[in-house]
Amino acid sequence: MRDLATILRKEIQGEILTDVVSRGIYATDASNYEIFPRAVAVPAGIADVLRILTIARNENVPVIPRGGGTSLAGQTTGDGIVIDFSKHLNRVLSIDPERRTARVQPGLVRDELNLALAPYGLHFAPDPATGNRANIGGMIGNNSAGTRSIVFGKTVDHVLGTKIALSDGAVLDLHRITRAEYDGLGDGAPGGDRRAELLGALKRIVERDRDEIEARFPKVMRRVQGYNLDELLDPGDWNPAKIFVGSEGTLGLLLEAEINLEPVPRFPSMCVPQFRSLMDAIRAVEGILRHEPSCVEILDEVVIRLAHENLTTAPLVDFLDGSPPAALIVEFFGSSAEDAEERARALAKELITQGIATSCPIRLDAGAMSRVWEVRKHGLGLMLGIKGDKKPIPFIEDAAVPVAVLPEYIEQVLAICEENETKVALYAHASVGLLHVRPILDLKRQQDIDRMKRIADRTFALVKQYGGSWSGEHGDGLARSPWLREFFGDRIYETLREVKTLFDPAGIMNPGKIVDAGPIEDHLRFGAEYKAAPLDEAFDYREDRTFLGAIEMCTGVGACRKTIGGTMCPSYRATRDEEHSTRGRANALRLALTGRIPGGLANRDLQNALDLCLSCKACKSECPSNVDLAKLKSEYLHQLDLAGGLGWRKKMLADAPIRNRSLAGHWARGLLMNPFTESIAKRVFGMHPGRRLPRPAARSFAQWFDTRSPDTGVRRRAGDRTPRERVVLFDDCFLHGYEPEVGIRATEAIEAMG
């Protein structure tokens, strides 16, 4: 085979990444899976995407599209060329506020789109919890929904048209066609117009299998498994673009989409009923739905406990009365503020009067409601923040059943997990019968891998028994595709394969998902053989136990890729490169420690990935799992130093605070005050000429603190005679020797407050 990297670099204007660190970073998403791609392509534009497809077809190499990498079933992992649309193909192409439509590129982040739509009072309504980093292309590929799907439906309900590139080089513009156009489609015989040929064949398949599709596809709103053949049953409302929604990149690559927009609801209200038990909360859902809420979300005791402990969410949980066993978040959209409030109060009165709920706090202020939603959106990350090797694992979490049978279904799933000595955590969309049930397992142990398979098989049987859907919004991927033949039956399964071959005759579009999938335990990120050599660690990892344990707190949810609000992650926001996100760096460190990267921690590409980390610690507070990359980088540098790989420049800079406490510090200050000698020092240390080297202070913070008089600085408030509290102020090396004025001002402010 010719060298793939050479061919790609010759033809593609964007970036081509083939080093093992970059490929390892793209080997995972937010799922249980890990597959190293052969190359990563970051196309500069549509022309690049089409060239990549041509090369992939000529070289018979699979293509895997990727956006924010938040997939929970392994959809964006694969042995081929991973195409990252998120860096360059992320624009809003047009907005038509009168028609309430927009044209967008696939790499656009959902919340960034809605920020652009805000002046028009419009929004793209599907609202997954990952909306601040989920790409529109990924939402279309996954058929995402979110919290308010009982009002707004799924993504398929908002896609008006798509431009798709197929593996054979064809580019299709697909949109709704009239009944006359539908009737005029041929039978798909080869020859002539490629679009007409494909649509005619698709029409023939649907009409041939109409009865079987109606019988086999589940009658629940949250159904995203397989291909959307049930969306094409009505000849009078036939939009072939919908076959690509939820297809997970297995039929073609999305280049552009036209989407429907909805007015932003003006008058929301919220009620948060709390219950004596989880099952009390679940049994209450059907009655609550009679009040016509916009959503009903559930939080179990695991999520509630973790929300109280997490640095980000602990200040936000004032809507909970302590730590109830379960709570529901019930939202209403009113015709006016008064109507919205009345509806929330009517529900609260009913639940309290009937003794169903223990309390029902009401939230009417937009700020107060946003605090509740912030906790809910962190639900997944909170669960994955559980310390230790056992984590809430996604594999049965996406099943949806009719709400009327939801209590019985959940009781039986919990019983199955209990029989397998497995605890669970659950949360999410009670309003549509979709609770994300996550068994807590350690996939580094073969016993728990076997438990995962047993729990999955028995839960799958329950889903079929209750007329549910095996996948309600997270897709099939590697996690649920293995059951699709059994779910749909042989005839529909072979139809799915026929549709795959129709649009992807080369067989290179994200293979192994939806059809022809391997077992659920293939390609696990961890697995029973996963291990790492022990290290002489600098830090005491009391909760995480080891350096690797602290790294593994990153489970890939991708919150570090957000671009709106907060600080995390500044280097990612500047570069839009996955390797410069907290997740990318944590993945690279994990792979180095477990022997997946040549050279381990001394690998040069790993050093490049960590160099831009500012050690700002935004991840420590903003990551829902509280991954502390600054601490991990310090440990990494310590390990590099022990191995003799730190380099003299880094060692000189690292030891500077120690030297500055001696006479050498005064000499250094004098030299760095001179522009000529400072410029020489910058060249020696490899620093940018525009940066200023840190200059040792003439007097350290400790010297100032020890010699100050009681009346130094700002005096205490009138009437204060003695300090009310003791405060410990830690002076780090920069505060001590380089920026003592920060410590001086902090001391004065603290003393002024008594």
Would you place residue 681 in the very low, low, confident or very high pLDDT band (cuts 50, 70, 90)?
confident
Is it true that the peptide bond before 616 is cis, omega within 30 degrees of 0?
Answer: no
- Rounded to an integer, what distance in angstroms lies between the CA atom of residue 515 and that of residue 498? 10
- Please give the average per-residue pLDDT across 410-414, as a whole number: 98
CB atoms within 10 A of CB 205: 20
| pLDDT per position as a tens digit, 46-97 | 999 999 999 999 999 999 999 999 999 999 999 999 999 999 999 999 999 9
We find that the CATH architecture of domain 4-87 is 2-Layer Sandwich (3.30)
| HSE-up (13 A, CA, CB side) for residue 636 | 31
Residue 31's pLDDT is what? Answer: 97
- Is the CATH code 3.30.465.10 the one for domain 92-263? yes
501-504, long-range: CB < 8 A, 24+ apart: 502/188, 502/198, 502/201, 502/202, 502/205, 503/166, 503/167, 503/198, 503/243, 503/251, 503/252, 504/166, 504/167, 504/250, 504/251, 504/252
Q: So what's the pLDDT on residue 671?
A: 60
Q: Indicate the DSSP class of residue 264.
A: P
Cβ–Cβ contacts within 10 Å for residue 156, how many?
Answer: 21
- With a CB cutoff of 8 Å and minimum separation 6, the contacts of 601 are 589, 592, 593, 636, 639, 640, 643, 645
Asked if the model's pLDDT at residue 714 lies above 80, the reply is no
**Sequence ranges of the chain with CATH classification 3.40.462.10:** 268-474
3-state secondary structure of 45: coil
Q: How many CB atoms lie within 10 A of CB 651?
A: 12
268-474: CATH class:
alpha beta
pLDDT at 685: 72
Helix (H) or strand (E) holding 20: helix 20-25
Task: Read off the pLDDT of residues 499-533 as tens digits, 9 standing for 90 and up.
Answer: 999 999 999 999 999 999 999 999 999 999 999 98
pLDDT at 663 over 70: no
Q: pLDDT of 247-267, one tens digit each?
A: 999 999 999 999 999 999 999
Q: Where in 47-118 does DSSP place strands (E)?
A: 63-66, 81-84, 92-96, 101-104
The pLDDT assigned to 65 comes to 99
- Residues with Cβ within 8 Å of 528's Cβ and at least 6 positions away in sequence, in order, are 444, 445, 446, 449
pLDDT score for 47: 98
Distances 319 to 367, 420, 426 between C-alpha atoms, Å:
12, 35, 19
Ranges of CATH 3.30.465.10 domains, the chain: 92-263
> Strand, helix or coil at 562?
coil
Q: pTM of the entire structure? A: 0.91
For residue 104, list its beta bridge partners: 92, 257
**CB–CB of 110/131 below 8 Å?**
yes
Domain with CATH 3.30.43.10 in the chain: 4-87
Q: How far apart are CA 593 and CA 614, in angstroms?
A: 22
φ, ψ of residue 698 to 5 degrees: the values are -65, -30
User: What is the structure's pLDDT at 402?
Assistant: 97
Average pLDDT of the segment spanning 9-33: 97
More confident call, 380 vs 457: 457
Average pLDDT for the chain: 92
Cβ atoms within 10 Å of 419's Cβ, excluding its own = 12
- pLDDT tens for 205-245 read 999 999 999 999 999 999 999 999 999 999 999 999 999 99
- Burial of residue 425, with CB atoms counted within 10 A of its CB: 0-12 exposed, 13-18 middle, 19 or more buried: buried
Sequence-separated contacts (24+) of 505-509 with Cβ below 8 Å:
505/167, 505/168, 506/57, 506/60, 506/167, 506/168, 507/167, 508/56, 508/57, 508/60, 508/61, 508/62, 508/63, 508/80, 508/167, 509/62, 509/63, 509/167, 509/249, 509/250, 509/251, 509/252, 509/253
Q: What is the 3-state secondary structure (H, E, C) of 113-151?
A: HHHHHHHHCEECCCECCCCCCCEHHHHHHHCCCECCHHH
